[in-house]
Amino acid sequence: MQSRRDWLKASMGIGGLMMAPTTLLTAQEKDKFQPRKLESIVRLSSNENPYGPSKRVQDRIVNSFSEACRYPYAYSDGLAEQLAKKHSVSPESIIITGGSTEGLKIAGITFAANGGEIISGQPTFLAMMDYAKQWGATVNWVPVGEDKGYDLDAIENQISDQTKLIFLCNPNNPTGTLVPAQRLVDFCDVASKKAIVFSDEAYYDFIESPNYPSMIEAVKRGDNVIVSKTFSKVYGMAGLRVGYLVAKPEIANKIRKNVVAMSNVLAVEAAKEALRDEEFYRFSLAQNKEAKQRIYKLLDHLKLDYVLSHTNFIFFHSKRDIRKLGPEMLAKGVRIGRPFPPFYDWCRISTGTLEEVDLFIKGMLEVYQG
């Protein structure tokens, strides 16, 4: 059986696909950055960071066990103060949640339950809309444009007296697109006077456009804007479930009444340390960028169109029904993203460790050229 390294060496000449050999991490890097172990089925389906929590964060968790008998309220207040300083807002503007998903859900039911309307692009991350519909909200879907990005003009035209929330996932999941900076600022300035704009910035850290604005700046101006952030992605803490919302105090106070899960002492203390571990933060971004470049090179070789991504995943035109491609890739040992209607011939693939990405490349070559 051909080993991964033998295959990589041979693949240097496959159809002109020139792949740089994978640079393996040193023992010191593995200890500091904690890459996940290579499994028999490589899961590149959920946009998880393949690194982390970092050694510093893990040590902080272990040292926090003695505090696990305590309720998390005071600890969360400390994290809120740290985040308020980071974003230059008041602590009253920060709401600590059990992952950003809780933040999306409670914002949805706070403002759009019992018949309120949410306007959202499609496809996008569904946590807010699916949950709010259970509480009586209605959703006005606006299809993405030909570039797979939000059609903000169409969204703006749909705003009515019934509209309570406008949901933007920026960069968007699953398309990986980014709203042009000035267009986003202008849209929020106008739309937030008619309804609350919710900006999900789960993937904000991966944006490569210099000086791209966070909508936290709109919050500082007093606009009716809510921003969602998470420790799940760039900090590699998806399993710890800690995120937060940023909004002006009068909006934050309404949302805070609906917080259910919050988080826990260990996750909160981990988040505090993650904010200080700048070395892991830089490493995480660099590894993600390298993984994306390898995937781009593969897709170029296979002549499959893709959206340039501002996230830790890539949305590409598979030219095959994803409901068939998924099982084919699973048979090759790689789990890819689920279907995102109506784009059944498009695939979302998450970045992984470089070893995991190599296995994805190997599987794709076998499926498409076998």
Which pLDDT tens digit goes with each residue over 81-121?
Answer: 999 999 999 999 999 999 999 999 999 999 999 899 999 99
For the beta sheet containing 138-143, the strands, ordered from the edge strand earlier in sequence to the opposite edge, are 94-97, 243-246, 225-230, 196-200, 163-169, 117-122, 138-143
Q: What per-residue confidence (pLDDT) applies to 370? A: 74
**CATH 3.90.1150.10 domain extents, the chain:** 4-53+279-369
**Can you tell me the distance from the alpha carbon of 315 to that of 289, in angstroms, rounded to the nearest whole number?**
15
Residue 369 pLDDT greater than 60, yes or no = yes
Q: Confirm or reject CATH 2.40.50.840 for domain 55-276, answering yes or no.
A: no
Residue 340 pLDDT greater than 50, yes or no = yes
Q: What is the pLDDT of residues 277-296, one digit of tens each?
A: 999 999 999 999 999 999 99
Mean pLDDT of 111-133: 94
Residue type, 281: Y
**Can you tell me the distance from the alpha carbon of 70 to that of 91, in angstroms, rounded to the nearest whole number?**
21
Residues for the chain: how many in total? 370
**CATH 3.40.640.10 domain extents, the chain:** 55-276
Topology of domain 4-53+279-369, per CATH?
Answer: Aspartate Aminotransferase, domain 1 (3.90.1150)
Q: Structure tokens of 79?
A: 């994290």
Q: Please, what is the Cα angle at 326 between 322 and 331, to 5 degrees?
A: 155
pLDDT band of 22, cuts 50, 70, 90? low
Mean pLDDT of 77-81: 97
Residue 53 pLDDT greater than 50, yes or no = yes
What does the longest C-alpha to C-alpha distance in the chain come to? Answer: 65
Mean pLDDT of 62-80: 95
